[in-house]
Amino acid sequence: MSYHEVLDRVFVGDQTVAQNVALLRQLNVTHIVACGFSEGFFPLQFRYLCIPVPDLPTANLVRYIPRAISFLDQALQGDNQNSKSTSCVLIHCVHGQSRSCSIAVAYWMHHFLKRSVSGEESCSSSSSSLLHEAYEAVQRARPSMAINPGFVQQLELWRRMLLCGSNHDNDNNDSEQSHKRWTQPYATFRSMRAHSEFHESRTLTRYVALQVFDHETSTSSTTNMAATYKCHTCRTPLFHAFNILDEFTAAQIKSLPASTYWKDSAGGRDYQTQQGKQHPGKQSRRKNTACCETNGMIKVEPMEWMKPLLQGDTEIMSPMGKLICPNCCAKVGYWDWRDEDYFAPPASCILISPSKVDHSANS
């Protein structure tokens, strides 16, 4: 049994802690984030948020982070049943090393920025070092932390989303009214969410409409990101610069915090064993998962005009096909959803040929 307090009233532990009602009562735990479980152990006694994601570098954890942040904020701020001063939260997975610690690191970044904005916390770190500080803080509190490398990259995406300055994207909220939401980190988040949805149901329910901005009220940064990419043949607008996925260079990935312990942890050993059994000698179809272009192709999120092409006349999407301009039918790119193990940001299966589009700043 192992648990540690990583933030005020936020505990991280393993599943044995989550199964010990007496200990949970002693710690004043009222809310539990259960990572890797589809249901809680004591649903009648505690409030649960279940995050059914495996401890694999290829699993999409970031899609659940906004929901977890909202759940933690609500728990710690209190409600009609629970006092703000005493409510505590347990974040757990099986071993309390990777998934639960990832959620704790994500919340640490959110909590730090929230306090900095409100003036409760002095901002002693630069925005670029926020992930490193959060990672080190949680690791000091819980030395057994061993976050897998795929989740670390997703935490870097979360850092970028936080620094966009908008309200957090919610997996169940499609309003997305703020201009600041239209940034490349959010496009990457939505693309990863779409990838997960396809491999779960072989369909997509959400596409992004081409945005129209009021340039009298837009900031200069928004206007720059709103540069429009148009079909080279007929000049039909297809997407904006902020619909292109955020870049993760090899150097940036190398600079991220890393757990030397993860490969030897229980989750790391299980992953290596599983990979050896399922894919002996197999390499991924995609060689370059670290940047926003593949062989010069531009990676974009699913746009509304693509829906008839991707969905066709059936409910089941084709795993691959060509993209054509909705106006002149000129080929502009293709999609390929075949690779399931593709969640290191940016994960997109929609690629546009740069020679088939022209772009210019909006005025």
The answer to whether residue 286 sits within a structural domain is no
Could you tell me if 227 and 259 lie in one domain?
no
Could you tell me if 2 and 151 lie in one domain?
yes
Could you tell me if 86 and 220 lie in one domain?
no
Could you tell me if 236 and 354 lie in one domain?
yes
Which residue is listed with tokens 């976050």? Answer: 147
Sheet with 350-352: strands ordered across: 293-294, 297-299, 350-352, 331-336, 320-324
Could you tell me if 127 and 193 lie in one domain?
no
Q: CA angle, 66 as apex, 89 and 226 as ends, to 5°?
A: 160
**pTM for the structure as a whole:** 0.84
Distance (Å, whole) CA 59 – CA 321: 25
The answer to whether residue 46 sits within a structural domain is yes
Structural domains in the chain (count): 2
Residue 105: predicted pLDDT:
98
Cα separation of the two ends of the chain: 61
Which residues form the domain of 10? 1-163+251-281
Three-state DSSP state, 117: helix
Could you tell me if 15 and 134 lie in one domain?
yes
Q: State which of 281, 300, 329 marks the end of a domain.
A: 281
Digits of tens for pLDDT over the chain (363 positions)?
Answer: 689 999 999 999 999 999 999 999 999 999 999 999 999 999 999 999 999 999 988 899 999 999 999 999 999 987 555 545 588 999 999 999 999 999 999 999 999 888 776 555 555 555 778 999 999 999 999 999 999 999 999 999 999 999 886 444 444 444 444 555 778 999 999 999 998 898 888 888 899 999 775 554 454 444 455 789 999 999 999 999 999 998 788 888 889 998 877 777 776 777 777 666 555 554 444 443 333 445 689 999 999 999 999 887 777 788 899 999 999 999 999 998 887 665 666 666 899 999 999 987 664
Which helix (H) or strand (E) segment holds residue 141: the answer is helix 130-141
Could you tell me if 334 and 267 lie in one domain?
no
Q: State which of 281, 303, 324 marks the end of a domain.
A: 281
Could you tell me if 321 and 183 lie in one domain?
yes
Exposure string for 218-257, b = 16+ CB within 10 A, e = fewer: eeeebeebbebbbbbbeebbbbbbbbbbbebeeeebeebb
CATH (domain of 126): 3.90.190.10
Could you tell me if 75 and 213 lie in one domain?
no
Q: Contact 203/194 with Cβ under 8 angstroms?
A: no
Residue 281: predicted pLDDT:
53
Could you tell me if 91 and 114 lie in one domain?
yes
Distance (Å, whole) CA 138 – CA 145: 8
Distance (Å, whole) CA 199 – CA 297: 23
Could you tell me if 190 and 80 lie in one domain?
no
Beta-carbon neighbour count of residue 178 at 10 Å?
Answer: 13
Q: Phi/psi of residue 200, each to 5°?
A: -90, -35
The answer to whether residue 128 sits within a structural domain is yes
The answer to whether residue 192 sits within a structural domain is yes
Could you tell me if 201 and 275 lie in one domain?
no
CA distances from 208 to 190, 205, 309, 344 (A): 9, 10, 14, 21
